[in-house]
Structure 1
């Protein structure tokens, strides 16, 4: 009891001293809670960048390059958090997440915008491009500027186009060398009317499936074929479920980088300038490195025993082109004659 009385007397004396000498107990609390490592974090801008491919694909590598450039040039006041492999949202949900500002950046395949923005269908036309340089002219020229302008009245802002590579076909059981080989086959496709018409012209059926569900549906044989770049085929191990890979180069798979419009407007002029410059530099980086990445992954595919690789010769390619010609006629009604003429000018040069 005596000890307790002494402790009580000591506490009371301390409180009385605080009143007498004007000592503010709150200062002690603030000093104990202060952490200089947290200084300035309330001013940090965080960009959540969601995408559905592997970190080792052209898109995954470009996203990392972009993040490094932004954080370096802003001294860490703008941070880019990358969520690869659909860790946050799959490719069917990420656009809505962006519109609601649950993420601030995504980089979907251009095919994912075709239903809402019909002009983007031009990029999915089979054999629209025969070289990487033609793709660059489309992205950086009138076609690219026209497509970006389509987004002006939406909740999304187009930051630019990112490169991947030409698409190839994979299949089970039968190799795909002639249009007749597609009959009675079932393919995964993206939500593009052009791609749907492409497979219809080849007498194949399709199912609309998220990219990250492709392996699973090939494995259980719900689908028995799909189209993709060699980079995506290798990094997602789609070759484990398929018997044949046809190097057809029948279409180009690229991306559009999008940001939330409200988020963008709330940034400072300096932050926007740095982000735009970093995006331009990352875009140039992926343009140069996407080719070598796909080539490297094709070499890895050749080293596996899981899949046989076939190349279309010129005669076979011409037969494919002829079979797919009706897709152009049907697509012009949605894309418009002006964009189709722009495409003709690029391919005729």
Structure 2
């Protein structure tokens, strides 16, 4: 499915670039205020609910930019795929029909394979290590790597670290995964991750995971604390391993046509508001995941094991075949910078 999505995404990119080149696009429009000042309309489209950290951060950005710009900007936020779904939003961005989207980083692999970094197993030791990488030289370099395609990265918005759950047994060492089958979000790195552990994998849509776990189609899954909690996986999964082995994160994107239409002062204000909204989003994501972790512990439904440093080293060693396969595709400099982030 990832290969198919990549082909579709590249095709949409080509169409979008042609639209941008021809000057098409209904977004980023201006209207005249009383006194002659122009108001710039910014459309922010995303695919999740308003109640999520991403949804709340989009509204926070709207509040900040509108209030601090004294009417220069009007931000329209469209959550839950009201305007565009995952495949269509990239074309809409390139055509300047929307000015902001926030796709999962893995959705950008077709444009730059280095975005597979978020799926690499046992790369970041914890959430803060990921944030430090994103804010550092190489995280910013990766975020800005699509400018030659007409796309500008503005911020990394995290969802959280992933952890293992399953219905069979505690997972403390790589050998414990042998013979189990796990649901994955997509193929590629994630399939190879489980293969290195002697486990099977199957791509299953997010909305179908609970039933697949209940019916024993798969034995386990990997997800954030909040998803494990809110999707009620504790009802069908007896064991959870606190592993911080992978991530689910987003990248906020705009298009260069819109960005280059702004004055330097407008760009500065836009960036300041985005940075403030990013801090807010991270705080919400951290709080939500911590609250869900407490819910899972207090429920008493799961046996929870936290990997020790020695356990983690054993997993890092077991994942070497994955790194041998993907380091050159992602870029050694990105891998090393992420691994050294603390």
Matches within 5 A, 1:53-68: 54-68=49-63
Matches within 5 A, 1:18-97: 43=39, 45-52=41-48, 54-75=49-70, 77-84=73-80, 86=81, 91=86, 94-97=89-92
Which residue in the other structure is 2:191 paired with? 196
| Structure 1 ranges of 4+ moved more than 6 A | none
Contact 1:110 1:254 in 2 (8 A): yes
Report the Cα offset of residue 230 of structure 1: 0.7
TM-score when scaled to structure 2?
0.76
Matches within 5 A, 1:4-15: none
**Residue-by-residue CA offset, 1:135-163 (whole Å, 9 max, x unaligned):** 23311122112212321122432111123
Contact 1:112 1:190 in 2 (8 A): no
Alignment: residue pair count: 308
Report the Cα offset of residue 91 of structure 1: 4.4
Which residue in the other structure is 2:292 paired with? 297
**Residue-by-residue CA offset, 1:160-190 (whole Å, 9 max, x unaligned):** 1123332111223434333233334333323
Q: Are residues 162 and 324 of structure 1, via their aligned partners in 2, closer, same or farther at CA, if it must alter by over 3 Å?
A: same
Q: Which of residues 109, 112, 117 in structure 1 aligns to 2:107?
A: 112
Q: Which of residues 303, 309, 323 in structure 2 aligns to 1:328?
A: 323
Which residue in the other structure is 2:332 paired with? 337
Name the larger-Rg structure. 1
Give the secondary structure class of the aligned counterpart of 1:346. coil
Matches within 5 A, 1:267-278: 267=262, 271-278=266-273
Give the secondary structure class of the aligned counterpart of 2:121. coil
Looking at structure 2, the residues matched to 279 and 287 of structure 1 have their Cα atoms a distance apart, in angstroms, of 12
Looking at structure 1, the residues matched to 83 and 303 of structure 2 have their Cα atoms a distance apart, in angstroms, of 34
Give the secondary structure class of the aligned counterpart of 2:148. coil
Contact 1:91 1:210 in 2 (8 A): no
Looking at structure 1, the residues matched to 51 and 95 of structure 2 have their Cα atoms a distance apart, in angstroms, of 28
Which residue in the other structure is 2:251 paired with? 256
Q: Are residues 48 and 344 of structure 1, via their aligned partners in 2, closer, same or farther at CA, if it must alter by over 3 Å?
A: closer
Looking at structure 2, the residues matched to 274 and 216 of structure 1 have their Cα atoms a distance apart, in angstroms, of 46
Structure 2 residue runs without a partner (length 5+): 1-30
Which residue in the other structure is 2:239 paired with? 244
Q: Which of residues 105, 124, 148 in structure 1 aligns to 2:119?
A: 124
Matches within 5 A, 1:155-166: 155-166=150-161
Report the Cα offset of residue 74 of structure 1: 3.5
Q: Are residues 94 and 300 of structure 1, via their aligned partners in 2, closer, same or farther at CA, if it must alter by over 3 Å?
A: farther
